[in-house]
Amino acid sequence: MTANTLNDTNEASVHDSTTELGHDEHHDHKMTGLKRWLLTTNHKDIGTLYLWFAFIMFLTGGALAMVIRAELFQPGLQLVEPDFFNQLTTVHGLIMVFGAIMPAFTGFANWMLPMMVGAPDMALPRMNNWSFWILPFAFAILLSSFFMESGAPNFGWTFYAPLSTTYSNGSTAFFVFAVHIMGISSIMGAINVIVTIMNMRAPGMTYMKMPLFVWTFFITAYLLIAVMPVLAGVVTMLLTDTYFGTSFFDAAGGGDPVMFQHIFWFFGHPEVYIMILPAFGIISTIIPAFSRKRLFGYSSMVYATSSIAFLSFIVWAHHMFTTGMPLFGELFFMYCTMLIAVPTGVKVFNWVATMWRGALTFETPMLFSIAFVILFTIGGFSGLMLAMTPVDFQYHDTYFVVAHFHYVLVTGSLFSIYAGAYYWLPKWTGHMYSNTLSKWHFWCSLISVNLLFFPMHFLGLAGMPRRIPDYALQFADFNKWVSIGGFAFGLSQLIFLAVVIKCIRGGEKAPAKPWDGAIGLEWTVASPAPYHTFSTPPPQKDIDNADQHEH
Amino acid sequence: MGKHKPIWLVLVSLVFINPAWAEMRLNLTEGATAVSKEVYDLHMLVLYICTAIGVVVFGAMFWSIAFHRKSKGVKPADFHESTKVEILWTTIPIVILIGMAVPATHTLIAMEDNTNSDVTIQITGSQWKWHYKYFDQDIEYYSVLSTPREQYQNQQETTVEKGINYLLEVDKPLVIPANKKVRFLITSDDVIHSWWVPAFAVKQDANPGFINEAWTNVDEPGVYRGQCAELCGKDHGFMPIVVEVKSVADYEVWLEEQKQLIVKAAEAEKASLSDSMSMPELMQLGETTYLAHCAACHQPSGLGLAPVFPALKGSPMATTGSITDHIDIVVNGKAGTAMQSYRKQLSLKEIAAVVTYERNAWGNDTGELVQSANVKVVSGDEQ
């Protein structure tokens, strides 16, 4: 497969150097219209597809959240029935995790990894095409269940048995099938990332010369390969429990509903890091660029990322402190979870040290990155609080948890995605984005996201459980503000859509390297990046210049 | 900034003068037990530590943002590594974490000590109510949300005022004595629920087929409210917990009352066997019982909620089917579905009335009457 690919791209490079037109005519890469996108094996095209898909899913999941916040605007049931409310929260979670954040990062991986390691394409381009094109079907299946008699999955994105088995509304089969397809897609994507990084780095780029961005995606891909099969296993057990009379999770047949949670969270906790490690990579690229200073502590960043990945496998049961674990188990998982604060702290300290005595400018990617560091750290603080078992008994399953993971996933992962998108938009489109509009996007998002999620901490501490369609009167005032913040945040994301469309259609021409402090092989090629890059490996000089580690 | 000051003052004071703030809580409750106070202290400790770290880290960041900007003409430094610093900021957090782990371990060990209890109560969650059973006392009862439907079904404009304990009130609260160690054995009949009373710092999952333990020892008599904390289906938001803590003397009085009530209920059951109720009587009692216990799933209209909760209106089960089968389903529930057993939840008379109601309401009009004696035949001696 790899040999074929290389052959393919060699052929392409020959055509590139002779006549662009002749190349277009018979090379399948440049078909026009729908076929180009359906059959493409080009990493840039597939990256674009992933990014657009993720954004569309983000708007879809966001629309569901808008309905949730509208229902919670005031006490009482006004708009939706409780059962439909549960469908909304469930599908909102599934879409945002599997449809928005993860595909967006895969989009970044596709676009940037080959360019960053000086490779002509991903190692397995046809599989790359597949891993994208099965995704829309997965989500079509998931979303279509809204229109069936059963309704959509209503058991929470964590689908705890037996609510999702014996007591399910009949949507379990669609749900399981959709998750299987998402899992296959992720595994194929991860294999591609690993093979590309291991085999296709330009000669002279050793592992410790790779940009930190590449390192984080590398480690993330290993996490994916390790845990996606576990997810596939647990949904299959769910399926057979529901439809084929097994009793994995049914005490009446010798099973155990808590075992479901152990298996699910053995997938679920590394999954959390799957959604944040790439963010660390993006932020570690952008902060040095706009501080005009090398990344502080490159190797400690690599080790911290690896430690976080390792620890992520031995902390899963901190999601389950109230399930009736033995004292020893609770202590073990509490200590391990607290330990994660150490490598995470190292990362934050390194970013701050990178900014320290730099020469800072505040372009939109940098603004999002600074907001990331502060707000992600706030999410980290609440994570540390949640790690303490005795207090977790109070926080667990309240809005405090909702606040925590939205700080980590929205102001964390999503903000890093925005930072990365603004940073590389000139490379992707060949145009500079509208500075004014992008600043509007940033400030509107920043203010509204905090209005949306910060009061949730107070709601949780005051005792509001999560996943309820109606609440006691003392929670009314904060919920109103949270909803207003939610609507504002939702609307603000449309500004981003406007910026991107405007940027694709035109604007100031972008130079090959629009950011004076940026390093990396991607800035050595023209903007927009040519359809084929690095058909011949980059010179050692460029690789050395791109090195975040030594200079 | 200076000339905007008055506007800011007005805005800020408007926010704080708002009377709603007075009753709004921002922080975790200190609770009503020694353990809950320890938990609160732990929460505050971690909060202060995080705030302090935040001030230092964000302070350094904002310092850079303010003073190390290119527009001020600074030249970037070129340091990018320091093993010394890396070791320092790995070790200091570890020391801080140990400082947090020690008190946390201490509190956790205390919380998990379920021995030497004075009173034991079994708590069983089911969709969407709690069942309390006092060990060695023969007292057991269900506790169900008592907020009237009109208060929360607001799809149409309504003028119904919401009560002060909206969604946090039940028909029969759990009653426990103050200053006694009360142990809870927590389990579930169907899906996973979670029994949570913030004032006790007790949150324990109710797992079907397994029993979890928790305990509390409340200092002051009073009423404490909580909610189910684990998503358990449609009405997860509508299964509150109310605990009434009484002084030991009052608790003893309450126990006596309950025992007398049980005797009276048994007598009433016996009497109802020979009783023959008229259609209007049965329909009236049937409607009340139906709305309280059945309407959450089968809906007041009898149309159910497809596909999980079947319609009763026009259903063969409630029209042409045999009365015995109908009673059987109500008394024993239906295995593998959400239909639970009402044997212990309703009296013979109530079951008779509700079956009559279901067979005659919404145009089902079978004209059939069901009496307590008919139910007794199906339910047998266990009643």
Instruction: Please tell me if residue A134 touches chain B, with a CB cutoff of 8 Å.
Output: no
Give B103-113 pLDDT, tens digit per residue.
999 999 999 99
pLDDT confidence of residue B11: 56
Residue B132: what are its φ and ψ, rounded to 5°?
-115, 135
Active site residue A144: no
One-letter amino acid of A454: F
**Residue A216 to residue A273: CA distance in whole angstroms:** 10
pLDDT of residue A463 exceeding 50, the answer is: yes
Q: So what's the pLDDT on residue B8?
A: 59
pLDDT above 70: residue A536 = yes
Residue type, A103: P
Partners of B336 on chain A (C-beta within 8 Å) are 166
What per-residue confidence (pLDDT) applies to B169? 95
**Nearest-angstrom CA–CA distance, A329 and A322:** 12
Burial label for A56, CB within 10 Å (0-12, 13-18, 19+), is: middle
User: Is A344 annotated as catalytic?
Assistant: yes
Nearest to B57 among A324, A352, A462 (CB): A352
Q: What separation in angstroms does the CA of B220 have from each of A102, A221, B179, B244?
A: 51, 55, 8, 10
pTM of structure: 0.91
Host H or E run for residue A419: helix A415-429
Dihedral sign, Cα of residue B246, residue B251, residue B253, residue B257: positive
Q: How confident is the model at residue A122 (pLDDT cuts 50, 70, 90)?
A: very high
* Residue closest to A49 by CA, chosen among A126, A131, A118: A131
Give the rounded percent of residues in chain B with a pLDDT score beyond 90.
55
Q: How many CB pairs under 8 A join A and B?
A: 298
Asked whether residue A226 carries a pLDDT value surpassing 60, the answer given is yes
| DSSP-assigned letters across all residues of B330-354 | HHH--TTSS----TTTS-HHHHHHH
**φ and ψ at residue A431, rounded to 5 degrees:** -125, 155
Which of residues A519 and B345 earns the better pLDDT score?
A: A519
pLDDT averaged over every residue in chain A: 93
What's the pLDDT band for A18 if we cut at 50, 70, 90? very low
Is residue A226 within 8 A of residue A159, CB to CB? The reply is no
Q: Which of A15, A43, A180, A318 is catalytic?
A: A318
How would residue A23 be classed by pLDDT, with cut points 50, 70 and 90?
Answer: very low
| CA contacts within 13 A on the Cβ side of A3 | 0
pLDDT in tens, B185-237: 999 999 999 999 999 999 999 999 999 999 999 999 999 999 999 999 999 99
Residue B9's pLDDT band, with cuts at 50, 70 and 90, is low
Residue B22 pLDDT more than 50?
A: no
Q: Kindly state whether A469 is in contact with chain B, defined as any CB-CB distance less than 8 angstroms.
A: yes
% pLDDT > 70, chain A: 94
Q: What is the dihedral of CA A323, A326, A327, A332, to 10 degrees?
A: -90
With a cut of 70, say whether residue B6 has pLDDT above it: no
How confident is the model at residue A132, as a pLDDT?
97
CA distance A142 to A98: 11
Show Cβ contacts of residue B160 under 8 Å, excluding neighbours closer than 6 positions. B148, B150, B151
State the pLDDT at residue A150.
86
Q: How confident is the model at residue B24 (pLDDT cuts 50, 70, 90)?
A: low
DSSP A360: B
Per-residue pLDDT, averaged over A344-348, amounts to 96
The length of chain B in residues reads 383
Mean pLDDT of A478-506: 96
Q: Which residues of A touch B198 (CB under 8 A)?
A: 394, 463
Distance (Å, whole) CA B327 – CA B342 = 10
- Judged against a pLDDT cut of 60, whether residue A266 lies above it is answered with yes
Angle at A512 between CA A508 and CA A517, to 5 degrees: 100
Query: Are B167 and A472 an interchain contact pair (Cβ–Cβ within 8 Å)?
Result: yes
CB distance A222 to A308 below 8 Å: no
- Burial of A467 from C-beta contacts in 10 A (0-12 / 13-18 / 19+): buried
Residue B36 — pLDDT band, cuts 50, 70, 90? very high
Distance CA A290, CA A301 (A): 19
Q: Identify the residue with better confidence: B281 or A446.
A: A446
Within an 8 Å CB–CB cutoff, is residue A77 touching chain B? yes
pLDDT at B238: 95
pLDDT for position B30? 92
pLDDT at residue A16 greater than cutoff 50: no
Is residue A178 over pLDDT 50?
Answer: yes
Per-residue pLDDT band at B15 (split at 50, 70, 90) = low
Residue B341 confidence (pLDDT):
87
Q: Look at A230-239, A538-547, B21-30 and tell me which has the smallest mean pLDDT.
A: B21-30
In three-state secondary structure terms, A166 is coil
Return the structure tokens found at B58: 């964000």
Q: Alpha carbon of A30 to those of A18, A33, A216, A343: distances in Å?
A: 16, 9, 31, 45
Res B26: pLDDT? 86
Average pLDDT, whole number, for chain B? 89
More confident residue, A117 or B346: A117
Residue A528: asked if its preceding bond is cis (omega within 30°), the reply is yes
ipTM for this model = 0.90
Contacts of A359 in chain B (CB under 8 A): 68-70, 74-76
* For residue B54, pLDDT beyond 70: yes
pLDDT band at residue A502 using 50, 70 and 90 as cut-offs: very high
> Is A300 in CB contact (< 8 Å) with chain B?
yes
Q: Which two tokens stand for residue B2?
A: 């200076």
Give the angle B238-B243-B246 at the CA atoms, nearest 5°: 160
pLDDT value, residue A4: 42
| Tally of CB atoms within 10 A around A240 | 14
Rounded Cα gap, residues B96 and B92, in angstroms: 6
Is A163 close to B231, i.e. CB distance below 8 A? yes
Q: For residue B224, give the 3-state DSSP assignment.
A: strand
pLDDT digit string (tens) for B234-284?
999 999 999 999 999 999 999 999 999 999 988 888 888 887 888 888 899
Closest CA to A371 of A417, A337, A340: A417
Helix-helix angle A298-311:A327-355, to 10 degrees: 160
